[in-house]
Structure 1
């Protein structure tokens, strides 16, 4: 029965009830069939709304407290504290939430489980506003497939976050490597590198502070070096512990942290630290030639002591490009 027909039936039932009461004193027994008919119409409408909700054809406004993160959540904690997240919060504040998040009913019946839209949900929670959501019925396998598809369509998710999610997918046993390669159009080598990348221990990830800039090749190489040698793994763990103990005042850049970990894995002397916002020019052998930074818009160069003439030649050949990377307008 269509919605129009049900509304007509409801009008008729109410009309019958009104006519009955006008014709004679109300009798509870005589009104029961009509009341049951009205109740049936409302129940049918409620079922239709539930069907529309569960099919994702209508959007809901949900309290953020009723939305719970999935165990397959792939976003690193840094994704909720960076400049891009702050911009998202401001955008939702000014324009509202333009894209709905995707949820499914929680298995325990308490609220909803988040499938896609973790940062949008966090932004709405931060602003104290309801979350616009689309509901879908999905088992764990469907949920994982949807999350993988969503990630492949997004440009803002890092290689590390994607690697962790794919490892989680395989660990559940709900999808095989062959199925992942086919669904994502990945080569065997590319998927292997991603999964090796995801094997980096939490101590190493913490030492990087924010692992999202880490490239697949570097992450996979570091993980393999640690897996191939217990001594290398121990050296990396020691350096990772030292780096994790450094506070914000140390201001070590991501590249400096990665170089220190990679040097430990390869048994090389620790590289000189590089501060955030600083550009370091090195020779082909990795020797530091000069450190370049800006102070109140003026470049400051610190030359390494005892540079031979050939090193100075290399320095001056690289200097214009380094100045440009610092934001200075340098003619060719």
Structure 2
């Protein structure tokens, strides 16, 4: 039996445990990259756009606020409205409505509406007449007042003391914002205000009512046309702003001839554009006009007329065919030869 000591399985095996590693802190995520600050042109442009947008929004809101304030003031005035006898109210001496404005279809429709409602829902404005007790002068609302007067109804009115220039400005702006006055009606109103010294000049009048001086001038031109010319149109209210200069120029060139032609046209009852063309020789188209340097109407007796027209290139004589039958052409030629010879 061997005496050698048997080694057990597993003897002489050494286990070495490595030293514990120092624990490292959890990794901190890197911050996300930030966009570089805008500099130079890019930053300036963005700032301008943002500023302009903000300014535009501010102005829009301010306009809304101003509009609400104006409407609030209007409503407050309306609450103070009272019913007045229409017969106690007289038109302003600067009344700007032509007679035709109280007989057209729009007025008849307004009158029917007021009759159905039992009165005017939208008040008119009047001012007290000093020293005349319960009498008032119209500021604006002439058509509503006339409708109530015709219907025998009291008229809902706001009473407001105003001086002459305040009255004029109120009247002009109110009527222009509601049913536009015709150029003729505007011209009559402006001419009267200047004649009565309400304004020192046409320019001052235009500035006070917020109109361009050209508009005021053209309106006055129309109002100052000779009465026969105004009567040739179906209504002077149909004369347009853009016709003012051509009509005034035609009257200045040949006042007698234009008036004679106007008398003839009145009986023909032509549309306004046709009357304008007949009186001026100007084609009624924007940007395309044909003008004659001179035109003269000749009265030959017994209701017969002739027209001599000079367009700068030739002179044209227009005769009724009955005045120059073909058998008389030779005699007419001989007469012309003697005339020009």
Please say whether Structure 1 and Structure 2 have the same fold, judged by a TM-score greater than 0.5: yes
Residues 160 and 214, structure 1, Cα contact 8 Å, conserved in 2: yes
SS at match of 1:61: strand
SS at match of 2:237: coil
SS at match of 1:73: coil
* Counterpart position of 1:255: 273
Match of 2:113 among 69, 79, 91: 91
Rg larger in 1 or in 2?
2
Match of 1:153 among 148, 161, 177: 177
* Counterpart position of 1:101: 124
Structure 1 regions of 5+ residues with no counterpart? 1-54, 271-332
2:194 aligned with 1:170, yes or no?
A: yes
Match of 2:139 among 94, 109, 115: 115
* Counterpart position of 2:205: 180
Range with bigger deviation, 94-103 or 169-178: 169-178
* Counterpart position of 2:84: 62
**What are the within-5 Å matches in structure 2 for residues 7-86 of structure 1?**
58-86=80-108
For 2:138 and 2:213, the matched residues in 1 are separated by 30
Deviation at 1:133, TM superposition (A): 0.9
Structure 2 regions of 5+ residues with no counterpart? 1-76, 283-290, 298-341
2:261 aligned with 1:239, yes or no?
A: yes
**Higher helix residue share:** 1
Deviation at 1:254, TM superposition (A): 2.3
Deviation at 1:87, TM superposition (A): 0.5
What is the TM-score normalised by the length of structure 2? 0.55
For 1:108 and 1:263, the matched residues in 2 are separated by 54
Deviation at 1:268, TM superposition (A): 4.3
Deviation at 1:188, TM superposition (A): 3.6
Deviation string, structure 1 residues 12-61 (Cα, Å, up to 9, x no partner)? xxxxxxxxxxxxxxxxxxxxxxxxxxxxxxxxxxxxxxxxxxx9862221
For 2:206 and 2:107, the matched residues in 1 are separated by 31
Residues 194 and 220, structure 1, Cα contact 8 Å, conserved in 2: no
2:242 aligned with 1:224, yes or no?
A: no
Deviation at 1:120, TM superposition (A): 0.6
* Counterpart position of 1:128: 152
Residues 56 and 136, structure 1, Cα contact 8 Å, conserved in 2: no
Root-mean-square deviation (CA, aligned residues, Å) is 2.6
* Counterpart position of 2:161: 137
* Counterpart position of 1:291: none
* Counterpart position of 2:48: none
Residues 80 and 158, structure 2, Cα contact 8 Å, conserved in 1: yes
For 2:228 and 2:127, the matched residues in 1 are separated by 33
Residues 64 and 130, structure 1, Cα contact 8 Å, conserved in 2: yes
Deviation at 1:137, TM superposition (A): 0.8
What is the TM-score normalised by the length of structure 1? 0.57
Deviation string, structure 1 residues 79-116 (Cα, Å, up to 9, x no partner)? 11111011001111122311111111224506111121
* Counterpart position of 1:6: none
SS at match of 2:120: coil
For 2:178 and 2:230, the matched residues in 1 are separated by 23
Deviation string, structure 1 residues 261-288 (Cα, Å, up to 9, x no partner)? 2249954489xxxxxxxxxxxxxxxxxx
Residues 207 and 257, structure 1, Cα contact 8 Å, conserved in 2: yes
Q: Aligned pair count? A: 209
For 1:62 and 1:169, the matched residues in 2 are separated by 28
* Counterpart position of 1:205: 230
* Counterpart position of 1:196: 221
CA shift in 2, pair 1:213/1:206, >3 Å = same
For 2:130 and 2:246, the matched residues in 1 are separated by 40
CA shift in 2, pair 1:178/1:93, >3 Å = same
